[in-house]
Amino acid sequence: MALPTQEYLKTKVMTASPEMLTLMLWDGAIRFAEQGKEAILKKDIEGSYKALLRAQRIMTELTTGLRPSVDKDLCGKLGALYNFIYRRLVDANLSKNGALVDDALEIMRHQRETWVMVMDKLAREKAAGTQETVAANADALTSADAAQDALGAQPAISVAPGTAAPLPVRRTYPAFAVRPAAAAAVGLSVEG
């Protein structure tokens, strides 16, 4: 049976966005490198080995996650940087030198901060795109309502059998306001 913290972590990882997973990798690499440095200072050889090895594995994962097909030049530069961090961790693990871990940690923390800024920028761009989509759809609905009013269309009021009270008016909206496929054909987007 899995511990509650393991289940929580599993759920957190399985539901995280790719951007959040990358941030989690950076957090883990930094945490394990710090644990490795502490173990080196305590002369805990086995503890430092295990912690630094975990940090090295995360750096390998970050390196293999680079996609040169998206931006070859950027991936080349990041790959070289990640390789430098990895080599520092390996050298620190072999020599049990805390200063080498500090070299790696300095760059890792900077990369984490940079990644947080990238995530913030992506969130702002997504929010702006969502606002533009909502505004465009609202404008289209307003235009359709104005066109319906200009044609003098009156919504029908129906009375249910056996009652004298009218049923609520059901407003008809243009097809693109209801069906995403039709909206795409008109040039509107319903996705955020």
pLDDT tens-digit map of 135-163: 777 776 666 666 666 665 555 455 556 65
Rounded CA separation 128/122 (Å): 10
When mean pLDDT is compared across 38-47, 95-104, 146-155, 169-178, the lowest value belongs to 169-178
- pLDDT confidence bin for 57, thresholds 50/70/90: very high
Query: How far, in Å, CA of 72 to CA of 79, rounded?
Result: 10
| Residue 127: HSE in the Cβ half-sphere, 13 Å Cα cutoff | 6
User: In CATH, what is the architecture of 11-126?
Assistant: Up-down Bundle (1.20)
Residue 181's pLDDT band (boundaries 50, 70, 90)?
very low
Token duo for residue 91? 């050298």
pLDDT value at position 183?
A: 45
Give me the chain's average pLDDT, please. Answer: 80
Q: Identify the residue with better confidence: 57 or 167.
A: 57
Number of Cβ within a 10 Å radius of residue 50: 15
Kindly give, in sequence order, each residue whose CB lies less than 8 Å from that of residue 96, ignoring residues fewer than 6 positions away.
40, 45, 48
CB 24 within 8 A of CB 16: yes
Span 170-188, average pLDDT: 49
Selected residue with higher pLDDT from 12 and 123: 123
Arithmetic mean of pLDDT, 40-61: 96
pLDDT higher at 129 or 36: 36
Q: What pLDDT digit, counting tens, does each position of 58-78 carry?
A: 999 999 999 999 999 999 999
116 against 156, higher pLDDT:
116
- Using 50, 70 and 90 to split pLDDT, how confident is the model at 189? very low
Q: Please tell me the least confidently modeled range out of 6-15, 39-48, 100-109.
A: 6-15
Q: What is the pLDDT of residue 163?
A: 58
